[in-house]
Amino acid sequence: MSSCAVDCLNPGDVANGEKIGKALFENLKKYYGQQGFIEYTAEPTPTFKDNPQKPDEGIVDFVITIEEGKQFSLRRLEFIGNTFTRDNVLRREVLLNEGDIYNQTAWEYSIIKLNQLGYFDPIDKDKDADFKTNEEEATVDLNLKVAERGRQQISFNGGLSGIGGSFFGLEYSTNNLLGRGEILSLNLSAGNRQKYLQFSFTEPYIKNRPITAGFSLFGYTQKFFGEGTFLSQNIEAQQGLSGSQFDFLNVSEENLFTRTSYGGTLFHKSAVEAELLKMEAELEAAYLLTLRAAWMADNRMPNSMEASMAKAKAGRVGNAITLRCVELCGAAGYGEGELLEKWARDSKILDIFEGTQQIQMLVIARRLLELSSAQLR
């Protein structure tokens, strides 16, 4: 790992203690934390010398002693204080699974995702997380303390108006139905002139995958007067409409128009979400092809065709996905601050050192057609 990777100093730079401290105790610590070395420590030892070329300046050499410690794995994750939300609803927001190498960056991002759910009071990644390490087994137990907040909202409303008449309304919504993480809302309003009903439901995870689906149903009925009705020629009724005569509320309904509308909608994916799902499907297909070829090799079965299929698919998919992700992220994807542009460049080699697409297709064709290399070139 180069010094640039941790934003440290290069030979010839002016010694900057703040920059060195940030590189060692923030950037490098974060980098080691991503690999499970949570007990990382660094100790810089400076050696000062005179500069023979510039007597008014000095030279300092730094020797950095790093103690990595053991690489820790996550043994157990517990949510302390949660009594309503199902465990799998919370765990699917966490990017770490029990048994994985511990990753501090993934854990911090998981805290952000948990806070976005809105089920608990704001969670502090430092104060609310209790780490218990086992030095002998190199494992860590995580206990996250959470405080539940109100998950349901209920409101009542009512009133009296010349156009709408008297009405009463009820609104109910929850973002965590029965602890399953599902979203439900109900809006009901009824009166002597208008009635309204809306019901919507959203499932944020389909088959435990981050695929959102939902629907909304609505119905609306309104009674009103307009041109062509008796009320349009009734001056007293029109005065009642403006509130000067209360008797307007008792006008016969035979003089009112009735408008009724109802329907429903299905929630659709955005173009970006559809693109991500497509890329996930392609990646899963390449992964399964690779597993199949590896399984055949482990069981001493001929797998040259299956191996070529996996290489052809994985090489093309890896390159296509990384390039598409760079495009989707715009300027951030092309910048060197993120790893996307590096992955996009590195992925191109997959199509070369495992054999180009043409070679893999040729091998597959030979096996399918049962032809030799001399017969099919």
Which residues on neighbouring strands pair with residue 143, listed in sequence order? 78, 130
Q: What is the DSSP string of 228-245?
A: TSGGGG-HHHHHHHTTS-
Domain ranges, ordered by start, for the chain:
3-67, 73-145, 152-266, 271-369
CATH number of the domain at 73-145, please? 3.10.20.310
Domain 271-369: CATH superfamily, name plus number: Butyryl-CoA Dehydrogenase, subunit A, domain 3 (1.20.140.10)
**Measured between alpha carbons, how far is 308 from 368 in angstroms, rounded to an integer?**
12
CA distance 256 to 223: 6
Nearest 5°: the CA angle 44, 49, 50 is 150
**Residuewise pLDDT in 10s, the chain (377 residues):** 444 445 566 777 777 777 888 888 888 888 888 888 888 888 888 888 887 777 777 888 888 888 888 899 999 999 999 999 999 999 988 988 898 999 888 898 899 889 888 889 999 988 899 989 888 899 999 999 999 888 888 888 777 765 556 778 888 998 888 888 888 999 888 877 778 888 989 888 887 777 788 888 888 887 765 544 444 445 554 444 444 444 444 455 555 667 788 887 776 666 677 788 888 888 888 899 899 999 999 988 888 888 888 888 888 888 888 888 888 887 777 777 778 888 888 888 776 766 677 788 888 888 888 888 777 77
DSSP letter at 268? -
SS3 36: coil
Instruction: Count Cβ neighbours within 10 Å for each residue of 158-195 and write b for 16 or more, e otherwise.
Output: eeeebebbebeeeeebbbbbebebbbbbebebebebbb
Q: Distance (Å, rounded) from C-alpha 343 to C-alpha 338?
A: 10
